[in-house]
Each structure stands twice: as structure tokens, then as C-alpha cells.
Amino acid sequence: MRKVLGAGRPNLIRQFCLEAVTLSMTALVLSVILARLFLPAFNSFAQKNFKLDFFGPGAPLLVLFVLAAAFGIVSGIYPAPALVLSSFDSVSLFRRRIRFTGKNAFSRVMIILQFGISIFMIVSTLVLDRQNKYMLTKNLGYDGTQVVIVPLADVKFQTKKHGAFFPVLKQKLLQHGSIHTVAGSEWPLADRWSACGPQLKEGARKAVIQNGVDCDFIPAMGMTLLEGRNFSPDFPSDTTDSVVVNHSFLEQFGLASPLGLEVSTPFSDSQGLKGKIIGVVADFHFQSLHEKILPTVLTLAPADDIEYASVKIDGEGMRETLKAIEKEFLSLAPEIPFVYIFLDDKVARQYETEERWGIMVTYASILAILIASAGLFGLTLITVARRTKEIGIRRVMGASVFHITRLINREFIALVLIANVIGWPAAYWGMKTLLRNYAYRIPVGPIFFVLAGVLAAAIAVLTVSLLSVRISLSNPVETLRYE
């Protein structure tokens, strides 16, 4: 109609581009508004402090404006509404004898790339979720359920008043039936312990981890004693010349029969002391699974050196038990605030970053899938429009709705399969690289890639089928009149 009324090709090109740029600018305004609205929530969730400064250095608002205009112009020109439609003569336009050449190669490449990115994101989401669950459920070598950690470092001044603070507190707490055990240590589990460089007699010095504990620490934490015995008050010499090591210690020093061997331990005082290995415990993760289990030496710490009390409580009546612990603590140190943390929560905090990343990757995956589905929906619209008369003929000849839907789905499933070829290697390399940050990690098995491929294919089939079924159910007479 515009061409009949005298509009030239430049006018039509300007019209198409202006419409596309208007849509692009509208999208820019909406995106800026959404960014303003969601940035505080994102900063709170990701623990960041990002700010939106559109008038700062680099003129970001101007850059966004230019990009929006450029995208609008490009989208107005391709896929050929401006350049191609404006080139047809008026008679062909009115007779609808328009035929686009080619098979929308560019559109298909974009669909493949979009679904390739979606598959990459889906695999990443699945792997990160499984890794997080693995870290939170893996046997850490100790039992941390219903264990309350109470810091005691701020109450050391109470030593003169009550003798050593920890033994007095321990005695009071064990009078409550809901408290099973109370163990003391210089460092708590799920934390960094001090490093030292012990050596065997006439041997080389090697770096290991050390912690001072009391006699109840190993049984209270549910650690497994592999050889020998635990510290005991029946052996007064344990305080000065005995150590318990973990299994990695034996591997580090190449020991087969460690019991009774002397170890030089220069971490107890400036002169150091010599201790004999009296027991071996199974390896346990005192740090996160990012770190490999290191050779560890446990010593019997003097009561004055205990800085953390690990209290194992009953699961029922937990609130009342915590109030009882607070009451006993404040009765001995009323000037010091009572603080505590559950060991399970302390372990979980080691993986807060991974959990946040997992959630963000999940959201990014959903967004990528929506974008890919939108592109696939648009390409399906074009395909169905071109094959409307063909669909009508097939329906008249007796083809079922399922047959037609399967026919249209076939070429799009092929695009998703090609997207898998792109997405799988990229996802495998990316997840392998990421998991190198964990000393203990899950294997990146084929199940993640199969699930991602099946999910992407299901989304593609659902998107295409929505349009295919609708056109297949329409009256064949109406479809045969199309064009």
C-alpha cells in the first residue's frame, strides 16, 4: 500500500529501522528500571556493593544508547524486512508471491548458539548443585550433629577466679541431662588450625597441622581410633610427652608401626618437647573440602589453653538446652557476652560462596533457556507460516496431528543435537576447570550431559509443538486458502 501511494525504498527502510530502534530503546529503558529495582537485592544476595552510575567515567549511558540504537538498526535490517521487502514490486506484494531464498542459515546458527549456551548453563547448574550436596553430606570423619561451639578466648582472665575456666564450665554443663559431652580444644573443627614442623627422631622435619585438645575431644566428636589409645587422665604423662596423629601423618612419614615413636613437637613452648605417638585416628576434615586432609598431630592441651568448648546436646528441647548453657556461662563470666554457633552451621558457612554461585547459575540457566526458547519460537513461526498450505494438504490427505507435529519438530531437534555438540565439550572443560579448586570433588560423568541434552530437547519440542498443534488443528480449508 505504501509503495502504491508513492513511498520509495529509502522511506520503507527508514520506517522498518525506526520501528526496530523504538523497540530497542523501549527495552533499554525497561532494563535500566529493572536494574535499579533488583540491584539492592542482588548486592545483598551476592554480598557485593555494585552501583549504577550512568553518568560516570566512560559515559555508560551514552554507550548503552549507542548499543541500543545499533541493535535496533541491525534487527530492522535483518532478517530482510527493510532490504528485501522494500525491494519487491507492488503487484508481487498484493499477490503474496514473495519467496525468501535460502533456509534462514543465520537464524539456525543463532538457535544453535543459544541452545549451546543453555546446555552449558544447565550442565553447570547440575554439577554445582551435586558438588554442593556432596560437600554438605560427605562423611567428614567426625559427628558434628547437635554440637554447639562456645568460644572461651575472652574469658581467660577468669582463670584467677575459678582456676581454669573450661573445667569449671564443663563440670557445670555436664550436670544437665540434655548435655551429653563437653570437649575442649585450642581450635574448633571447621576452622584453620595452626601449622608446625615436627620431625621424627633423626628424621627430616615436615609441615603438619597441630591442635591441642582435652581427653574427651576424640570420642565426643565421634572420631575413629585406628590404633593405640586416646589421651587419658589415668596417664598424667600424656600432658607432656604423648601425641595422637591421623592416618595422613603415617603416609607423610612413611610409617607402618607408629606407636611408641618419638616426635619432636616444637609448638607447645619455646623449648619444644618430645612426645611419643600413643594413638592413630582416621582422617577427618577439620577444614573445608577445598583443602586436602593434611597430616595432623593432636596433643593434650593444658586447661588454661582451651579456647573452644564443643558441647554435644540432645536434639529435643534444644532451645531450653541453649538457655541452660548460656546461664552456666554467664554465672562464671557475667561481663562477657555469650556467643555460640552450631558446628553444622559452621561447616555450611564454608560453602556459602558455592551456594550463592549455584543459585546465580540456576537463574542464568533459566534466562538462557527463555532466550533460546524465544528465538526458537520465532523461527517456528516463520517455518509454520511457510508450510501452512503444505500442512493443509497433508491434513486433507489424512495426516494426523501427531504426524505433522513430528514432521515440524524433526528439523528443530536436529538443531538441538548440533547445539549439544557445541555445549557438551565447553561444559566439560569449564566444570573440570572449576572443580580443580576442590581437593574432594565429584566426577563429571555423562549423566549431567545426557540430562542437559534431554531437557534442552524437551524444551525445544514443547516450544515447537505449541505452534504446530495449533496450526494442525485448524480447518484444512482455511489453511489451503493461505497465500
The answer to whether the beta carbons of residues 119 and 425 sit under 8 Å apart is no
Q: How far apart are CA 329 and CA 309, in angstroms?
A: 11
- pLDDT by position in tens, the chain (length 483): 555 545 555 666 677 778 778 888 888 888 888 888 878 877 776 667 777 777 767 677 788 888 888 877 777 665 444 444 444 444 444 444 444 344 567 677 877 888 888 888 888 888 888 888 888 788 888 888 889 999 887 776 554 454 578 888 888 999 988 889 999 988 888 777 766 655 555 555 566 788 889 999 999 998 999 988 999 888 888 888 888 989 988 888 787 788 888 876 554 444 444 678 899 999 998 888 888 888 888 888 888 888 899 999 887 888 889 999 999 888 888 888 888 888 888 887 777 777 777 787 788 888 878 877 777 777 777 666 666 666 677 767 777 777 777 777 787 788 888 888 888 999 999 999 988 888 888 898 899 999 988 888 888 888 778 777 776 666 555 555 555
Helix axis angle, 165-173 to 318-332, nearest 10°: 140
Whether the CA torsion 336, 342, 348, 350 is positive or negative: it is positive
- What are the angstrom distances between the C-alpha of 479 and each of 399, 453, 467, 483? 14, 34, 14, 9
Q: How far apart are CA 329 and CA 335, in angstroms?
A: 10
The answer to whether the beta carbons of residues 227 and 262 sit under 8 Å apart is no
**Which among 280, 328, 299 is positioned nearest to 182, based on CA atoms?**
328
**Which among 187, 179, 196 is positioned nearest to 214, based on CA atoms?**
187
**What are the tens digits of pLDDT across the range 157-182?**
554 454 578 888 888 999 988 889 99
**Which among 70, 78, 67 is positioned nearest to 16, based on CA atoms?**
78
- The single-letter DSSP state of residue 306 is -
Phi then psi for residue 272, to 5 deg, are: 80, 175
Q: How would you classify residue 150: left for phi > 0, otherwise alpha for psi between -120 and 50, otherwise beta?
A: beta
Q: How many CA atoms lie within 13 A of 46 on its CB side?
A: 15
- pLDDT attached to residue 84: 47
C-alpha cell at 230: 586416646
- pLDDT attached to residue 204: 55
Cα 83 to chain centroid distance, Å, stands at: 46
Q: How far apart are CA 410 and CA 426, in angstroms?
A: 25
Q: How far apart are CA 349 and CA 440, in angstroms?
A: 17
Cα 148 to chain centroid distance, Å, stands at: 27
Phi then psi for residue 268, to 5 deg, are: -90, -35
Residues 6+ apart with CB under 8 A from 1: none
Residues 6+ apart with CB under 8 A from 324: 173, 176, 178, 179
C-alpha cell at 73: 538498526
**Which among 204, 189, 281, 196 is positioned nearest to 244, based on CA atoms?**
281
Q: How far apart are CA 90 and CA 85, in angstroms?
A: 10
Q: How far apart are CA 64 and CA 179, in angstroms?
A: 62
- pLDDT attached to residue 203: 54
- The single-letter DSSP state of residue 394 is H
* Dihedral (Cα; 162, 167, 168, 172), 10-degree rounding: 180
**Which among 276, 353, 309, 369 is positioned nearest to 185, based on CA atoms?**
309
- pLDDT attached to residue 271: 41
Helix (H) or strand (E) holding 470: helix 446-473
Q: How far apart are CA 189 and CA 315, in angstroms?
A: 20
Q: How far apart are CA 219 and CA 213, in angstroms?
A: 11
C-alpha cell at 27: 527495552
**What are the tens digits of pLDDT across the range 105-123?**
767 787 788 888 888 888 8
Helix axis angle, 105-137 to 446-473, nearest 10°: 130
Phi then psi for residue 110, to 5 deg, are: -65, -40
pTM higher than 0.85, yes or no? no
